Structure 1
Amino acid sequence: MVEATFDCLSEPHEGPVHVSAILARAEVSSRAFYRHFESKDELFLAMLEQVTERLAVVLDEIAGAPAPDPLNQLRAWLDQMFALATETDLHRNLAVLDCDEMRSAKGYREARTRSRARRERSLATILRSGHADGSFPLAEPESDAIAIAALVSRELTSARIFDPAEIALSRARVERFTLRALGVAGKV
């Protein structure tokens, strides 16, 4: 049902996608739908959770590396975030998650806030490690994580990110800015 919903929402359509269209695409009955979800909003929140959880797990693994190397962890975190622009299926799913119909789901804002906070938490872990070992002397981990994640999100939602040549340039701009802000000398 989740994949059918992604398919329905990613295709051109007018007005809201009806549950009946999702059920037809998924080839399931309304009984099957309501066994899993109380409403379309609940389905939408499950979709958001599924996609953002996959990303959060990868980011947490980067932040929790057994032998921390904060600079390389930061670069890996940025690489993973910018990979969102190149992974076609994931990019499509993220675009669906940000469509008007999804955003209107009851509880969407809160779920999106939790997702963003989890990404920021993994980044803050990396920044704390770098601040502690001197790699990021100017780091203020919690507030910098919020700012860096916001910058990444802004870059990932810009119109130019759909041009493959711009993805690497955008990623490099974010890294240069981030390293300067964290006080990293000579590696910018």
Structure 2
Amino acid sequence: MRPETGDDARGCIIEAAYRCLSEPHSGAISVAAILARAGVSTRAFYRHFQSKDELFLAMLRRETDALAERLDRIVAETRGGPIAQLAAWIDGMFALLTDEQLRTHFTVIDSHEVRATRGYRETREKAHTDRERSLVTILRRGRDDGTFPLAVPEDDAVSINAIVSRVMMTQSYRDRERVERSKARVLDFALRALGAERPMSSARACGQH
């Protein structure tokens, strides 16, 4: 019997919602279907969420907060200077394609059903800002030490984030070689825009077809 209270029940409900939404279905997924999959009661649901919309927003916040925290760790842990950190940040974003669970979860929270949730747009905008803060820090470091002489950190972080997101939309996770080439090209473009000297490995990778 699954727990009816505490974080365990909340987690069970969220994971059940991911499974229900990721499987083929027609029409909107009901709370009853989610609870049947989770094995918890209606009372347990309303102990944690006031509505299905609140559940969907909780799913969105959980994934985007975790992504922002992973990107923040890149700033703290990646050695080698701003270029290495920028490359690691881009890798961290592309992991949404190459990690099966992340890919599934982000596909769900970007689905039409979840996007229709009241408050989705505002929550997603905050998520963009949260994940850009680590990029702003990297660009500031590069501007201050001369690695990125043309950087305007706050503006460029928005642009780089948007480019990465757009390129990721054109990728197939099955084509790993193309994903690697796309990462290299995004990095090369960003370095040129920031006025950085490109590492030879990056220049060679971007010259491949």
**Who is 2:69 aligned against?**
57
- Residues 42-101 of structure 1, C-alpha deviation per residue, up to 9 Å, x if partnerless? 000100111111111111122234977211111111111111110001100000010001
Question: For the Cα contact (< 8 Å) 1:85–1:162, is it kept in 2?
Answer: no
**Who is 1:21 aligned against?**
33
Residues 117-132 of structure 1: matches in 2 within 5 Å? 117-132=129-144
Given the superposition, is the C-alpha separation of residues 68 and 111 from structure 1 closer, same or farther in structure 2, using an over 3 Å criterion? farther
Residue type of the alignment partner of 1:121: R
Q: Quick one: distance in 2 between partners of 1:159 and 1:76? A: 19
Residue type of the alignment partner of 1:57: E
Structure 2 unpaired stretches of 5+: 1-12, 204-209
**Who is 2:50 aligned against?**
38
2:186 aligned with 1:168: no
2:130 aligned with 1:134: no
2:169 aligned with 1:157: yes
**Who is 1:2 aligned against?**
14
Residue type of the alignment partner of 1:130: G
Number of aligned residue pairs: 188
In structure 2, which of residues 102, 105, 120 is the aligned counterpart of residue 90 of structure 1?
A: 102
Q: Quick one: distance in 2 between partners of 1:147 and 1:5? A: 33
Q: Quick one: distance in 1 between partners of 2:102 and 2:173? A: 14
**Per-residue deviation, 1:173:** 1.1
Given the superposition, is the C-alpha separation of residues 172 and 186 from structure 1 closer, same or farther in structure 2, using an over 3 Å criterion? closer
- Residues 122-143 of structure 1, C-alpha deviation per residue, up to 9 Å, x if partnerless? 1011001100000101111111
- Between 1 and 2, higher relative CO (CA 8 Å, sep ≥ 6) is seen in 1
Mean CA deviation greater in 35-44 or 52-61: 52-61
Identity of aligned residues (%): 52
Q: Quick one: distance in 2 between partners of 1:150 and 1:162? A: 23
Residue type of the alignment partner of 1:136: F
**Per-residue deviation, 1:164:** 2.3
TM-score normalised by L of structure 1: 0.95
Residue type of the alignment partner of 2:118: K
Residue type of the alignment partner of 1:107: G
In structure 1, which of residues 52, 70, 75 is the aligned counterpart of residue 87 of structure 2?
A: 75
**Two-structure CA RMSD over aligned residues (Å):** 1.5
**Who is 1:105 aligned against?**
117
Given the superposition, is the C-alpha separation of residues 98 and 66 from structure 1 closer, same or farther in structure 2, using an over 3 Å criterion? closer
Q: Quick one: distance in 2 between partners of 1:50 and 1:122? A: 18
Residue type of the alignment partner of 1:154: R
Mean CA deviation greater in 155-164 or 69-78: 155-164
Mean CA deviation greater in 110-119 or 152-161: 152-161
Residue type of the alignment partner of 2:153: P
Tell me the secondary structure at the aligned position of residue 28 of structure 2.
coil
TM-score normalised by L of structure 2: 0.86
Residue type of the alignment partner of 1:146: V
